[in-house]
Structure 1
Amino acid sequence: MKSLGIDARMWRHSGIGVYLRNLLPRVVNKLPEVWFVIMGDAGALALGGQLDRENVSLVNFSSPIYGLREQWELRRRLPRCLDGFWSPHYNFPLFFGGKRLVTVHDMCHLALKQFVPGFHRRYYARRMLTQVAKQADAIICVSTFTKEEFNKYVKVPHQRIYTVHNGVDEFFLASATAMQSPPVHYPYILYVGNVKPHKNLPTLLQAFVSLMGEIPHNLVVVGKKEGFIAEDQKVLNFAAGYGGRIVFTGEIDQETLKQYYLHAAMLVFPSLYEGFGLPPLEAMACGCPVIASQAASLPEVCGQSAIYFNPFAPAELACKIKELLNDERRRQLLQGAGRKRAGQFSWDKSAARTVDVIKELLDIT
Structure 2
Amino acid sequence: MASKRPIIWIDTYRTKVPNSGLGQFSMRFAEYAVEKGSDEFQFEIFGWGAPEHLFADNAKKAKWHHRYLRSGSTADLWHSLYQLPSHKPPRNTKWLLTVHDLNFLYEKSPAKAAKYQKRLGAEVKKADYITCISEFTKGDLLKVFPQVGRKVSVIHNGVELQSNVVSQPLKGFNPEIPFFFSIGIFNPKKNFHLLVEVMLSFPDYHLVLAGDSSTSYGAEVKAEIEKYGLSRRVHLPGKISEGEKDWCYRNASAVLFPSFAEGFGMPPIEAMSVGTPVFLSRATSLPEIGGEVAYYFEKMTASSMAHKIKSGLDAFSKDANAAEKLKDRASKFTWDEAMKNYLDLYREILL
For the aligned pair, the TM-score class normalised by the smaller chain equals 0.7 to 0.9
Normalising by structure 2, we get a TM-score of 0.86
User: In the aligned structure 2, how far is the partner of 1:178 from the partner of 1:342?
Assistant: 22
Say whether residues 1:190 and 2:181 are aligned partners.
Answer: yes
| Residues 77-112 of structure 1: per-residue CA shift (max 9 Å, x gap) | 674422221111112345742111111111101233
Aligned pairs for 1:22-41 (under 5 A) are 22-29=28-35, 30-41=37-48
C-alpha distance 314-308 of structure 1, shift in aligned 2 (>3 A): same
Aligned pairs for 1:314-325 (under 5 A) are 314-325=302-313
User: In the aligned structure 1, how far is the partner of 2:311 from the partner of 2:124?
Assistant: 45
Q: How far has the Cα of 1:333 moved from its partner?
A: 4.4
Aligned pairs for 1:124-203 (under 5 A) are 124-169=115-160, 171=162, 184-185=174-175, 186-203=177-194
Say whether residues 1:286 and 2:243 are aligned partners.
Answer: no
| Residues 27-54 of structure 1: per-residue CA shift (max 9 Å, x gap) | 1231334332212245x33124466331
User: In the aligned structure 1, how far is the partner of 2:123 from the partner of 2:299?
Assistant: 31
Say whether residues 1:312 and 2:305 are aligned partners.
Answer: no
Aligned residue number for residue 46 of structure 1: 52
| Residues 92-148 of structure 1: per-residue CA shift (max 9 Å, x gap) | 34574211111111110123324x9xx4x5344212211232111111111111110
User: In the aligned structure 2, how far is the partner of 1:22 from the partner of 1:159?
Assistant: 28
SS at match of 1:140: strand
Do the aligned residues in 1 keep the contact of 2:277 with 2:323 (CA within 8 Å)? yes
C-alpha distance 177-108 of structure 1, shift in aligned 2 (>3 A): closer
User: In the aligned structure 1, how far is the partner of 2:74 from the partner of 2:313?
Assistant: 60
User: In the aligned structure 1, how far is the partner of 2:292 from the partner of 2:38?
Assistant: 35
Aligned residue number for residue 20 of structure 2: 14
SS at match of 2:162: helix
Aligned residue pairs: how many?
Answer: 338
C-alpha distance 239-130 of structure 1, shift in aligned 2 (>3 A): same
Say whether residues 1:253 and 2:246 are aligned partners.
Answer: no
Do the aligned residues in 1 keep the contact of 2:75 with 2:90 (CA within 8 Å)? no
SS at match of 1:129: helix
Say whether residues 1:236 and 2:227 are aligned partners.
Answer: no
Do the aligned residues in 1 keep the contact of 2:12 with 2:27 (CA within 8 Å)? no
Q: What percent of counterpart residues are identical?
A: 26
Aligned residue number for residue 5 of structure 1: 9
User: In the aligned structure 2, how far is the partner of 1:327 from the partner of 1:252?
Assistant: 31
User: Gaps (5+ residues) in structure 1?
Assistant: 62-72
SS at match of 1:106: coil
User: In the aligned structure 2, how far is the partner of 1:154 from the partner of 1:78?
Assistant: 34
Do the aligned residues in 1 keep the contact of 2:100 with 2:263 (CA within 8 Å)? yes
Do the aligned residues in 1 keep the contact of 2:134 with 2:154 (CA within 8 Å)? yes
Q: How far has the Cα of 1:193 moved from its partner?
A: 1.7
Deviates more, 1:302-311 or 1:87-96: 87-96
